[in-house]
Each structure stands twice: as C-alpha cells, then as structure tokens.
Amino acid sequence: MKIAVLIKYCPDSEAVIKVSDGKLDTSGVKYSVSPYDEYACEEALKIIEAKGEGEVVVFNVGPQKNAKGIKDELARGADRAVHIVTDAEVTCPRYAGELLAAALKEENPDLILCGWKGIDYDLGVTGIKVAEYLGIPHVMIVTKLELSDGKANCTRQSDIDEVIEVALPAVIGTQKGLNEPRYPSLKGIMKAKKKPVKTTTPAEIGLERGDVRAEYTDFAQPPSKQAGKKFEGPESAAEVVKLLREEAKVI
C-alpha cells in the first residue's frame, strides 16, 4: 500500500507575525510542519506498520526552505518525499492543489492524507482541491479512520459523530484527536539524511502559471480594542440603550 501525505511548512503555532507596509514580516520566525499534517503523517505510519508493508510518501509545494519540514517527516518514519520547489510561497490553495494533484498522478497512491487545514491562512481548501483535480472523494475533519476492503470509514467531527464511508483512493483531512504524533528519534534523524527526496518545479510539471485564482495583496493588524464602558445604577439603563442605538448601532 502506498500512502501519500501532504504537508505544509508554515510559521510555528507560537510565532508572532508582524505586518510591515501591508506585507507579512516573517524575519526571525520559526517554521514547522502544520500540526494537522503531523496527525496525517502519524496515521499513515500507523497504517503501514499495522499492514507490515507499503510506503509513506511525503508531498510538499513551496520554496527551498521547506526542505527542513520534509526532513522532519522523513525523520518520523516516512520513506521518501516529493518536493515541488517554487520561488516563493504558494498562497493560492487552488494552484497548490493543482500542483500537488499533478505530482500525485505520477505516484498513484492508494490513500492521500493531509491536515484538514493549515495553521497559517486557516483556509482548509487545498486537500479538497486536490481531490477535485484527481476526481476522487474526500472527507475532512476526520478524528477516526478505519480501512477495509478498499474503503475508508471516517468519523468526522461535528455536532454529532458522523461516520462516512468512501471508496479508495480518497483524500482524508485529519483533525486533532486522531492520534498522538511521535517525535523523531535520533536514529530516525540519521536515516532521514539518506532517504530520497525527488525535487521538481511547476515548469517541469507543466503548470508554471497554473490555476491561480486568489492572491493576498495587503495585510493589516486588527484594530486595537477600545476600553469598555461601565454603567452603575438602574438609571443607567436608558443611557445603555441610547449608546447601543446611536454608537454601537446594534438596535
């Protein structure tokens, strides 16, 4: 069995991002693999270990610095990787999905796992676009996954537990609670240095321009919160109503 894992290398969850002249200032910011993608890699490793055969292939699209994130997942236990190297970060999920789908077609995996969203732009779209381009089903926000007879039974988080059955291959978006990702061991880190990483580019894939539909043109910090107003005594009710109507304009 071949399982593909899509990972995103993005600012760490504890990173402080600054905005300068309408652009994100990421200088000095620590990067790491998105935590939801770590659940995907761990689940892939568990499936292959239980079967006793197969391989886990990591896929990433982005600049050369993303190689560090790829190495981290190889150190966890993934067998090899495919890196679509771009000059800059690909922020359009439609284009990222198109690039990943093209690379996945060459590998023809039995199952594709990914985090249900990245922790940077928080869109939750790329995995869905990959499934659309490949013409296969997808299930997102999965907290339990069981495979049998060429199908995947997925428990999805919502107001109630939803169990969805899809035929493989499929794209499954993982959520917190699915598993507990392992830490790379020293042995795993050393092995990762020798594991193969295939690099390619959008031009080599034939998608140099791609299906770009969304671009970020400006960023700004949210406005500072104003100090609250405190009212005391029953006679203040009329003043509260007046402010809600004339200042807050909510009534």
The two tokens of residue 166 are 């899809």
- Calpha distance 26→32 (Å, rounded): 13
Low-confidence ranges of the chain (pLDDT < 70): none
pLDDT of residue 237: 84
pLDDT of residue 200: 97
pLDDT of residue 98: 96
**Contacts (Cβ under 8 Å, ≥6 apart) of 228:** none
Phi/psi of residue 169, nearest 5 degrees: -75, 155
The two tokens of residue 91 are 């922020």
pLDDT of residue 138: 97
- Calpha distance 171→202 (Å, rounded): 22
pLDDT of residue 174: 97
pLDDT of residue 6: 98
- Which residue type is seen at 38? E
CATH class of the domain defined by 2-205: alpha beta
pLDDT of residue 118: 92
pLDDT of residue 181: 96
Radius of gyration of the CA atoms of the chain, in A: 22
Task: Identify the bridge partners of residue 111 per DSSP, sorted by sequence position.
Answer: 3
